Amino acid sequence: KNQFALAEPQNYKGFLLERKVLEIFDDIRENKKYRDPRIVCYAQPILNVDENKYKTAEALVRLQINGVNVPPIKFIPIAEERGYIHSLSLAMIHKVAEAINNELKDSEFDAITINISAGELSDEQFATEVLEILDSYNISYDKIRLEITESAMFEDTDILTENIRKLKDSGIRFYLDDYGTGYSNLDRMTDSEFSTIKFDKSIFYKALANKETEEMLDAVISLVKKRGINTLVEGVETITQVEFAVNKGFENIQGYYYSRPVPIENLVDYFNKKQ
């Protein structure tokens, strides 16, 4: 019997990765105070405004300990610091792939996005490993998209460029996450790297309250669209915000107004089922 008592069966392909991720906490590794820790894949459906349908979703990791969720903000930074974030990303890709082949196999949707942390793209093996996992499930590469923040792009290394090229050539799209939170370099963000820009809720809320920010938002949206890049707004919670988002021309809307993140298998309730 394994010391972590993971819920997943031993033949689940991501099992060892998942176990590795759980080692981020000494207490888990030493099997001290936590019972039954596990990594669970949640996902939040995203509305496509034109079609008024949920066509994509964002995978969001949940760490459950003693049956309670630990928020990502409390363990992602630790995982990043201690070198476990890459295993976490790969484990999440396994989980999303499993769901696509099982619970979601009769659902109609475009893709599920997965968060990648800064630094991972500078790992020589990154693209190869991602493609290998998808191959092992026989999943079409365009069903998975990767979200990265601008800070992931700061190290402008050859390896990073090569990883992105390899993944993009294979049909994997990149989303720029959290736009409006960092130093936003318009040149960088509208070059051909990204298929979608995700506007952070902070800039969106600010535009709702402040005319100057609203004008700036209008200008950015118009520039982004001119470059053929899609727009998505996050953190939409109220009908007022929905109306504002639609009015601004956002093509995709994500937020609690439509749904909180749910266990990934529950996406069947949102994606259209095939007839």
Stretch that binds ligand C2E, among 22-30, 68-76, 135-143, 209-217 (CB under 6 A): 68-76
Q: Which residues inside 147-166 make contact with Ca ion, applying CB under 5 A?
A: 147
Stretch that binds ligand C2E, among 124-132, 205-213, 215-223, 234-242 (CB under 6 A): 234-242
List 21, 28, 57, 60, residue binding ligand C2E (CB under 6 A): 60
Q: How far is the CB of 32 from ligand C2E (least distance, A)?
A: 25
Stretch that binds ligand C2E, among 72-80, 103-111, 157-165, 214-222 (CB under 6 A): 72-80
Stretch that binds Ca ion, among 30-38, 46-54, 73-81, 109-117 (CB under 5 A): 109-117
Query: Is the Cβ of residue 92 or residue 153 nearer to ligand C2E in the bound state?
Result: 92
Written as one string, the DSSP assignment of the chain is --TT--SS-TT-TTHHHHHHHHTTSHHHHTT-S--S-EEEEEEEEEEETTTTEEEEEEEEEEEEETTEEEPHHHHHHHHHHTT-HHHHHHHHHHHHHHHHHTTTTTEE-SEEEEE--TTGGGSTTHHHHHHHHHHHHT--GGGEEEEEEGGGGSS--HHHHHHHHHHHHTT-EEEEEEETSS---HHHHHSTT-SEEEE-HHHHHHHHH-HHHHHHHHHHHHHHHHTT-EEEE----SHHHHHHHHHHT-SEE-STTT---EEGGGGGGTSEEP-
Amino acid identity of 4? F
Interaction between residue 196 and ligand C2E (CB under 6 A) = no
Query: Is the Cβ of residue 25 or residue 31 nearer to ligand C2E in the bound state?
Result: 25
Q: Report how far apart the first and last C-alpha atoms of the chain are (Å, whole number).
A: 43
Contacts of 272 (CB under 8 A, 6+ apart): 53, 54, 107, 108, 109
List 56, 115, 196, 259, residue binding Ca ion (CB under 5 A): 115
Interaction between residue 36 and ligand C2E (CB under 6 A) = no
Interaction between residue 76 and ligand C2E (CB under 6 A) = yes
Query: Is the Cβ of residue 215 or residue 237 nearer to ligand C2E in the bound state?
Result: 237
Interaction between residue 18 and ligand C2E (CB under 6 A) = no
Q: How far is the CB of 129 from Ca ion (least distance, A)?
A: 20
User: Which positions lie near ligand C2E, rule CB under 6 A?
Assistant: 44, 60-61, 71-73, 76, 85, 88-89, 92, 115, 117, 177-178, 234-237, 254-256, 261
User: Which positions lie near Ca ion, rule CB under 5 A?
Assistant: 115, 147, 177-178
